[in-house]
Structure 1
């Protein structure tokens, strides 16, 4: 048996509060993408889960929820692209530092006496 949904006024306020939390999370992710040098300084964010007994989403909040979802998907795609770019940059830096592409280079040793 699940928890009962809150009363109508409380139900709307509960969903509005839940969407506020999601919106703050996606805004933080968007800010990290804009200012990526601070990413290492920020603590990890706990994954969001809806509060207990929230009930169904009110219809008038659906456009806001859809907009937050679209922003989350765009931020996730931007994060994936940024991570791929960082991997390419790290691989290039490794080649510059070692002077090779990872394959061993021939070495010649003079054995003449």
Structure 2
């Protein structure tokens, strides 16, 4: 039988890991240039034998979940904006679909 203290300690560690993941995503959103330099986070899976969440940690778990959902929405918006910017840049580089300039020698 596990001691209640180790059960709570395991949950605190699991929430710390989730909190760190969300903080990393929030930092990436705030500083988009670091996205190129950092690897993508691995999906979180609960450690084996974690047990049920202690009731006193539920507010923290709920707050982390809310932050995860907000970060997900912000990432989706940032990705969409990035795609729009890339499409616009491609059009600018190609001259909005116009034919490239053609030079005609009128001296002939």
Give the alignment's TM-score, normalised by structure 1.
0.84
Query: Is the aligned partner of 1:77 residue 2:80?
Result: no
Q: Residues 1-113 of structure 1: matches in 2 within 5 Å?
A: 6-101=2-97
Structure 1 segments of 4 or more deviating over 3 A?
none
User: What is the Cα deviation at residue 7 of structure 1?
Assistant: 2.1
Per-residue CA distance 1:46-81 (angstroms, 9 max, x = gap) = 111000010000000000000000000000000000
- RMSD, aligned α-carbons: 2.1
Give the alignment's TM-score, normalised by structure 2.
0.88
Query: How far apart, CA to CA, are the structure 2 residues paired with 1:96 and 1:43?
Result: 31
| Corresponding residue pairs, total | 104
Q: Which runs of 5+ in 2 are unaligned?
A: none
